Structure 1
């Protein structure tokens, strides 16, 4: 049986230990800062915030290009000869990265592409679902695994509160960002993925401690999340007492496993320091 290798982008914020455990291959996206192009993951996230602190400029981001994908898929084949590649990509509604993967995959056989229509922990939840499915059934047919992953894509739910509205505004990825103008200093917007698009939905007032707890309550009331696994996403600067409280609330709600995911450079450039998010899979 030919080996199946899973891959994704750095925008999934897949923890390094889990990527290593499941042999998930991760291709970097790009961060542009002070005219220089950095591969996502090649510089500490704190550098992004320090740069903003010095210059009041927010770095921009770009997708992985088609040539990089060609090299990425070729390297996977070199490291895992005769493998089948299943690439689970960053939402095509917020980046050209997935389309570039489609272009590159034309040069290869047995490369399956899945648009996860999600980012950060929402994308990671899908990738890890695929990895665990493959671990449980290593001889699964690739077409069957692809069908299972595609079926879970619409069940991955992500919601987050950005740490900085300046970063969110500058990122320009939220489809209805105009609805926030005029209230930027008064509210903490909840951003969710709707059909692959980043959308501002609910609005919270007050400190992040209260807003994060209200977000978790609303999230669990709206979605019937599988209690086996819950993912919390944070960007550098989130208060440790908030993390502790979120762990407590998740356990009170019956979650067996809770995993914290740090937002990497790609996501942090759009959300700012001190952000909080939740991701899980609906039953």
Structure 2
């Protein structure tokens, strides 16, 4: 029986303990700051916030290129001879990374590529579904595994509220007028992945503690999420009391397992400090 190896990108924010435990291979994306190219994961997130405070600019981010993907896949095959790689990638609608993976794998055998149409916790939810499936059915045929993973892609639901409109404005994602209005009225957008695209679906007004509760209630009312697992996301700066309250609400809603995930440099560059999000799979 040939071994199947799962892989994904750093933009999944897959916690290191899960990646290590389940041998999920992670390829880094890039953060460009002060003219330097940093691999996502090698840069403390606080450096991004410090950079913004100093320059009022946010770093730029770039995808994993095809050469890096080729090296990544080649190393996996060297480490695990005769393996089959199942790569679950960052949404192709927001990055060229998945297309670069396709280019890199064109002349390589036994690599299956799945466009997760999701990012951060939404991508991690799909990766961990694949992990669980593979551990329950270690003899599953690769094509069957890929088919089951692809079937769950539309059921992965991610919703988050960025911590800072300033970061969205600096990154060109909101206009100055919208930023000023939002800042004055304390309005923050709820952002979701709709068919792989980042879309603002609602606006919340108030402080982050109240907004996080509204987001949790709306999310659970809108989606019938599998109570086996919930992923809660935060960027550095989120108040610990908010995290405690979200744990309470998740428990009250009947979730058996809750996993907190910290946004890495790639995601934090766009979300800013103090952001909060939720991800899970619909039943």
TM-score of the pair, normalised by structure 2: 0.97
In the other structure, the counterpart of 1:272 is: 272
What's the CA shift for 1:107? 2.0
- Which of 162, 184, 204 is residue 182 of structure 2 equivalent to? 184
Alpha-carbon distance in 1 for matches of 2:159, 2:236: 17
* Deviation digits for residues 215-268 of structure 1 (CA, Å, limit 9, x no counterpart): 000000000000000000000000000000000001000000000000000000
Cα distance, 1:182 vs structure 2: 5.1
SS across alignment from 1:81: coil
SS at match of 1:210: helix
Structure 2: gaps spanning 5 or more residues:
none
Q: 1:178-221 CA deviation, whole Å, 9 max, x = no partner?
A: 69455231211100001100001110011000000000000000
The reply on whether 1:102 has 2:102 as its aligned counterpart is yes
For 2:215 and 2:67, locate their aligned partners in 1 and report how far apart those are by CA, in whole Å.
40
Number of residue pairs the alignment of both structures matches: 280
Does residue 63 in structure 1 map to residue 63 in structure 2?
yes
What per-residue deviation string (whole Å, max 9, x for no partner) do you get for residues 12-46 of structure 1? 00000100111100000000001110000001111
The alpha-carbon deviation at position 169 of structure 1 amounts to: 2.9
| Aligned ranges 1:1-283 → 2 under 5 Å | 1-172=1-172, 177=174, 180=178, 183-185=181-183, 186=185, 187-283=187-283
Give CA-to-partner distance per residue, 1:141-180, whole Å, 9 cap, x none: 10000001000000000000001112123334x6xx5694
SS in structure 1 of the partner of residue 199 of structure 2 = strand
Work out whether residues 7 and 87 of structure 1, in 8 Å CA contact, stay in contact via their aligned partners in 2. yes
Within 2, Cα distance between the matches of 1:81 and 1:169? Answer: 47
Q: Which runs of 5+ in 1 are unaligned?
A: none
Once the two structures are superposed, what CA deviation does each residue of 1:42-64 show, in whole Å capped at 9, x if it has no partner? 01111111111122111010000
Structure-1 separation of matches of 2:178 and 2:193 = 17
Note if contact 2:169-2:179 (Cα within 8 Å) is conserved in structure 1: no
How many angstroms apart in 1 are the aligned matches of 2:171 and 2:82? 40
Please tell me whether the aligned partners of residues 166 and 179 of structure 2 are also in contact (alpha carbons under 8 angstroms): no
CA distance in 1, matches of 2:24, 2:213: 32
Tell me the C-alpha RMSD between the 2 structures.
1.2
Q: 3-state SS of the aligned residue for 2:201?
A: strand
SS in 2 for 1:224: coil
Give the 3-state SS of the residue equivalent to 1:184 in structure 2: helix
